[in-house]
Structure 1
Amino acid sequence: MKKFIVVFLILCMTLGSGCIQKKVVNTEVRDYIVYNIGKLPEDLIMLDRHNIRQEDLLLCLFEGLVSMDKKGKIVPALAFKWEISEDKLSYIFTIRNDAKWSDGSDIVAEDFVNLFSNLLKNENNIYKQQLYCIFGARDYAENKVDFSKVAVMAKDNKTLEIRLNYACSYFLNILSQPIYVLRKDFKYLKEWKNNFSLILYSGPFKLDSILEKEELSLVKNQMYWDEKSVASNKIHMKNEEAIAFALADYKWDEIDIITNPPMNQINEFIKAKELFRSPSINGMSLNFNFNKEGIIKDINFRKCISYCINRKNIINNIVLGEGANSFIPSSIKSSGENKILFANYSNLDKAKEFLDKSEYKGEKIKLVYLNSNENNKEIVDEIIKNLKKIKIKISVEGYNEEMLKEIIHNEEYDILLTHYIGEYNSPIAFLEKWDSNSKFNIYGYNNLEYDVLILKAKLTGDSSEAIKYLSFAEELLYNDIPCIPLYFSKNIVGAKRYINGLEVNKRGNVILKKVYIHKQNE
């Protein structure tokens, strides 16, 4: 019977009829919150991929030196204060006296020393270059020195000093990312589903059990330093990957919090006063495969593709957000003015002009995308509509996560629709990814002049000089077009009206620390 109801609800959703069932949750029966995380992570290390929903789990279970609030401001976490030297090369963090692991043992500075050692030694860590601003970090990661030569030092049990190679103005932003939360015993984190009871937790919750269908049960960490601010004693996380089924569960009050509901349901959430919106620094882009010989290496062809993009149609009909008019979101100021590099509307006359300049001979182009996100298919359909109008032959293939990873690894594509992400709140988070040495640059783009500009922006201690270098780098990126940013999304979260205390940070992470059910008789 339940399956019939679910199918019926999905059909209603597809037809856009707005047949949302109104039902008040019986908080006497269920006094815990259910959040849909989507696909569960393979491990609790999460250094080889970026999945913002899976990082929500990290932020429930662990905490770092600092964190980011909903406005993008860096705030204290396990470190209650920090001091930055006058030359901006030394950071001294003071760890809270009441910071403890979930077993009651003290969290000490040496725990962070071990954390950084593990992060830098992890061969699959796509983020490790972010830490190369730390003195000795790169040499250690490349096995040239031992960790005693890395400037991450425990001055005493509660004092951690980190010394940098250069004045990195965004260093705290780097440390605020979920991947830098404090963890230990990485062997247990690797096989977390079998070893969750052995893991020591540093955050507001700890993993209590894994239920049927791998639903996670989290309970309050009584040893957490800010335990009094943790509003719920228990939170369940569901792993429903299909948004249609997650939405059906939401409408049936089996899920209380859901992210990125379909566009055709947004008005229903607004009418029900159950929609939570905030600015984001994440979006989507088209990335070109420079590792493969062919027409993609032709700059005129890439410019042709760029002029075919109609961002207005995408953000009006498919996703909530703003058109990506540059490589950096407008919410992150890179200079005194927001650059307009990409238009919101397509220009097919201009596209045809560049197509005629290119060496395109009618060969078929392969565009690939992740098919588990239902918006991706609609975005792709919108893009190829204009490509076909100017007689570009294109094949489109959607893959699951594992298959897509293999396709990318084997370079069996020409264009990839993918997430366009800044992990931290700084312009360089977006631009440094196209450095030829970046682990994120798997597409083969290489421009020495660009690399030098990014390096100069990092090394200069003058913020105005850094802005100038980044501005030049962005213009160079526009001239080369290794990727085409499409849009920057809004953080869209559906939450039942009985849910209070929900926060979403600027990165888009759903923060569950202060979330609770507001009972009807309160």
Structure 2
Amino acid sequence: MKRYIFLIVMLLLTVIFCFSFIGKDTSKASDINSEQSLIYGVDDISTDLRSVTNLSKRQEDIICALSKGLVSKNAQNKIVPSLASDIKEDSEGIQYEFKIRDDVFWSDGSKITPNDIVEFFKELLKEEDEENIKALLDVYGAKDFKAGKTTFEKGVAISATNDAVIIRLNTKNNNFLSELTKPQYRVRKYLIMWGNMKNNYKKLIYSGDFSIDSINDDSMVLKKNQNSSDDIISNINILKDENVELSMACYEVNQRDIVIDPPETELSKLDEEGKLITEPKIDATYLYISNKENLPVQARREIYNDVCKAVASYKNTNNKTFELAEGSYFREDKENLTKVQARKVSSNKIGTWKKPDILTILGEDNDKNRSMCRIIQDWFKNNTNITIKYSLVKESEFKDDELRNRYDMVLINNDADILNKATFYSSFQSYLTGDQVKLLKKAGDDKKNDSYGELEESLFNDYDILPLVFYNENIAISSKVSQLNLDGNGNIDFTTIK
């Protein structure tokens, strides 16, 4: 009998012991679901944040939450100070002095110093892939250091004073400050350790408004740092979902507060309920029309006009996905109503040409191009006697000039960053005529961001490369969220969440 009583007592003690752990777990879950916490669904969580090479825009968001740069781009795409309080550029446009704010701290409470920032740039030159730090490689001596030909301290023109960081370039680069706003330039300590965040997140200190509180393959919890503003959210629980449909299913039962790019079929409903935020992205699509014998200028003009009609017709019923370019190569240029109207008139000029039975389109295989090709194909089927056939290929095939030349049209995805026209127009180089290449070089030699007008006019008037749409980021939000902004690089600014 005593034996049975003993067993019952032990069983009860075991149950009580287990319930004590359940109580703790419930408390933590309750904390995450409190009014001061948000649940954000993403398609992947990367534990390697050392380099941005393989990161998606949403994975870059994490770097932006955890760290700050010398400068940043706000939602209006303007460059504003961040860790720096003031920026001085010399008369030649070669040397920059960034005065570091007195009120910026690491997550452990220690002050962020100019020496910390210089050390970060040294690590960034070592660890980041060259393609991601072209602006930094413009610094005097940076390429030699990257190649192992000199030491950082003796050879690279990045230095610290008591209150500032001084950077000297080889030659003037009008895009230098714009480049410094990108996620890879956010200041991080012990950068090599960011290659394995799962093992190292507790050992690191962070320059941003948030720190990693926990991380595994399926979730990451960000916690507000002690020196961050009281106005920002306390916790962000980032959960990995297999796809956006799963994120939306969880959203419907109040298990997600933020879902990026919900399905198009959900946008109208979310908008009507006041649960949709639509933010402009720098992503855009342009149409290259081949200069073949059977496609003279009048043909290219009418093809472009019809493609624009197709896109406009789709937008009438799906008005949140993108914004019509209306002849503008940059979203900001749409404010120039005189130019917009002149280009509309130009593209509507009527002429004669022998219309083919079939027109072909080539594009890189991605969701945007897949949707765009279907939009164009359906409209031409219903409104013309021309059949549209399209092929979507991998990036390596898309870069094949011989393949591209077989098609009448090519969809080109580009970043419409008006602050960086040199990179924007240079990405079109393989499509340009000989005269247009000369115009590109002339504008590049001038080293001014506003020197590309002549090239742009040639592209439009000859109907070679033409603007189609500027994409939006659509974000489903719960009742906990009333405001959320993207910065000028398209990354979520978690400090704007209200």
Q: TM-score, normalised by structure 1?
A: 0.71
- Residues 472, 496 of structure 1: alpha-carbon distance in 2 compared, 3 angstrom cutoff: same
Corresponding position: 1:453 with 2:442: yes
Counterpart pick for 1:215 among 211, 214, 219: 219
- Residues 496, 450 of structure 1: alpha-carbon distance in 2 compared, 3 angstrom cutoff: same
Which residue of structure 1 lines up, in the alignment, with residue 79 of structure 2?
74
Per-residue CA deviation, residues 151-196 of structure 1 (Å, 9 max, x unaligned), is: 322234x310122345545533322222221124333223334443
Residue 104 of structure 1, CA deviation:
4.5
Residue 52 of structure 1, CA deviation:
2.7
How many pairs does the alignment contain?
Answer: 456
- Aligned letter for 1:150? V
Which residue of structure 1 lines up, in the alignment, with residue 181 of structure 2?
176
| Contact 1:133/1:165 (<8 A) preserved | yes
Corresponding position: 1:331 with 2:332: yes
| Contact 1:263/1:318 (<8 A) preserved | yes
| Contact 1:91/1:163 (<8 A) preserved | yes
| Contact 1:369/1:417 (<8 A) preserved | no
Which residue of structure 2 lines up, in the alignment, with residue 313 of structure 1?
313
- Matched residue SS, 2:278: strand
1:14-413 maps to which residues of 2 (within 5 A)? 30-31=33-34, 32-41=37-46, 43-48=48-53, 51-120=56-125, 124-131=129-136, 133-137=138-142, 147=152, 148-156=154-162, 158-211=163-216, 214-222=218-226, 226-229=227-230, 231-240=232-241, 242-286=243-287, 306-310=304-308, 311-318=311-318, 320=320, 321-326=322-327, 328-331=329-332, 338=339, 353=353, 366-370=362-366, 373=367, 376-385=369-378, 391=386, 394-397=389-392, 404-405=394-395, 407-408=397-398
- Matched residue SS, 1:261: coil
Residue 236 of structure 1, CA deviation:
0.9
- Residues 82, 160 of structure 1: alpha-carbon distance in 2 compared, 3 angstrom cutoff: same
- Aligned letter for 1:381? R
| Contact 1:119/1:125 (<8 A) preserved | no
| Contact 2:41/2:256 (<8 A) preserved | yes
- Aligned letter for 2:156? V
Looking at structure 2, the residues matched to 180 and 161 of structure 1 have their Cα atoms a distance apart, in angstroms, of 15
| Contact 2:258/2:477 (<8 A) preserved | yes
Looking at structure 2, the residues matched to 129 and 229 of structure 1 have their Cα atoms a distance apart, in angstroms, of 36
Per-residue CA deviation, residues 492-518 of structure 1 (Å, 9 max, x unaligned), is: 3222222245333344322112535xx
Looking at structure 2, the residues matched to 308 and 235 of structure 1 have their Cα atoms a distance apart, in angstroms, of 46
- Matched residue SS, 1:99: coil
- Residues 209, 483 of structure 1: alpha-carbon distance in 2 compared, 3 angstrom cutoff: farther
Per-residue CA deviation, residues 228-276 of structure 1 (Å, 9 max, x unaligned), is: 3462221111233633222222221111112233343233223322222
Which residue of structure 2 lines up, in the alignment, with residue 4 of structure 1?
none
| Contact 1:112/1:182 (<8 A) preserved | yes
- Aligned letter for 2:438? E
| Contact 2:325/2:334 (<8 A) preserved | no
| Contact 1:303/1:354 (<8 A) preserved | no
| Contact 1:282/1:422 (<8 A) preserved | yes
Residue 346 of structure 1, CA deviation:
9.2
Q: Percent sequence identity over matched residues?
A: 24
- Aligned letter for 2:365? Y
| Contact 2:72/2:79 (<8 A) preserved | yes
| Contact 2:51/2:129 (<8 A) preserved | no
- Residues 47, 413 of structure 1: alpha-carbon distance in 2 compared, 3 angstrom cutoff: farther
Looking at structure 2, the residues matched to 354 and 130 of structure 1 have their Cα atoms a distance apart, in angstroms, of 48
Per-residue CA deviation, residues 310-367 of structure 1 (Å, 9 max, x unaligned), is: 33134334452321234632325898964569759998987x93876xxxx9797654
- Residues 313, 96 of structure 1: alpha-carbon distance in 2 compared, 3 angstrom cutoff: same
- Residues 355, 36 of structure 1: alpha-carbon distance in 2 compared, 3 angstrom cutoff: farther
- Residues 114, 28 of structure 1: alpha-carbon distance in 2 compared, 3 angstrom cutoff: closer
Residue 142 of structure 1, CA deviation:
6.6
| Contact 1:139/1:145 (<8 A) preserved | yes
Looking at structure 2, the residues matched to 49 and 481 of structure 1 have their Cα atoms a distance apart, in angstroms, of 35
- The structure with more radius of gyration: 2
Looking at structure 2, the residues matched to 264 and 68 of structure 1 have their Cα atoms a distance apart, in angstroms, of 32
- Aligned letter for 1:65? L
- Residues 500, 409 of structure 1: alpha-carbon distance in 2 compared, 3 angstrom cutoff: same
Looking at structure 2, the residues matched to 480 and 435 of structure 1 have their Cα atoms a distance apart, in angstroms, of 16
Looking at structure 2, the residues matched to 394 and 454 of structure 1 have their Cα atoms a distance apart, in angstroms, of 36
Query: CA-atom RMSD, angstroms?
Result: 4.3
Looking at structure 1, the residues matched to 161 and 73 of structure 2 have their Cα atoms a distance apart, in angstroms, of 26
| Contact 1:219/1:235 (<8 A) preserved | yes
- Aligned letter for 1:396? S
Which residue of structure 2 lines up, in the alignment, with residue 486 of structure 1?
468
Residue 61 of structure 1, CA deviation:
1.0
Residue 449 of structure 1, CA deviation:
0.8
Residue 287 of structure 1, CA deviation:
6.6
Residue 150 of structure 1, CA deviation:
3.5
- Aligned letter for 1:128? I
- Segment of structure 1 superposing worse, 118-127 or 485-494: 118-127
- Matched residue SS, 1:473: helix
Looking at structure 1, the residues matched to 214 and 182 of structure 2 have their Cα atoms a distance apart, in angstroms, of 26
Looking at structure 1, the residues matched to 452 and 198 of structure 2 have their Cα atoms a distance apart, in angstroms, of 43
Looking at structure 1, the residues matched to 355 and 147 of structure 2 have their Cα atoms a distance apart, in angstroms, of 44
Per-residue CA deviation, residues 4-32 of structure 1 (Å, 9 max, x unaligned), is: xxxxxxxxxxxxxxxxxxxxxx9788112
Per-residue CA deviation, residues 17-65 of structure 1 (Å, 9 max, x unaligned), is: xxxxxxxxx9788112012233334732444367332222221111101
Looking at structure 2, the residues matched to 48 and 444 of structure 1 have their Cα atoms a distance apart, in angstroms, of 28
> When you count helix as a share of all residues, which structure comes out higher?
2
- Matched residue SS, 2:221: strand
Looking at structure 1, the residues matched to 131 and 124 of structure 2 have their Cα atoms a distance apart, in angstroms, of 10
Structure 2: 5+ residue runs without aligned partners? 1-28
- Residues 217, 444 of structure 1: alpha-carbon distance in 2 compared, 3 angstrom cutoff: farther
- Residues 481, 217 of structure 1: alpha-carbon distance in 2 compared, 3 angstrom cutoff: farther
- Segment of structure 1 superposing worse, 269-278 or 55-64: 269-278
- Segment of structure 1 superposing worse, 58-67 or 124-133: 124-133
Per-residue CA deviation, residues 123-170 of structure 1 (Å, 9 max, x unaligned), is: 7443433445544445656777654443322234x3101223455455
Looking at structure 1, the residues matched to 267 and 38 of structure 2 have their Cα atoms a distance apart, in angstroms, of 22
1:426-441 maps to which residues of 2 (within 5 A)? 426-428=420-422, 430-434=424-428
- Segment of structure 1 superposing worse, 249-258 or 91-100: 91-100
Looking at structure 2, the residues matched to 65 and 83 of structure 1 have their Cα atoms a distance apart, in angstroms, of 13
- Aligned letter for 2:425? L
Looking at structure 1, the residues matched to 318 and 369 of structure 2 have their Cα atoms a distance apart, in angstroms, of 9
Residue 405 of structure 1, CA deviation:
4.5
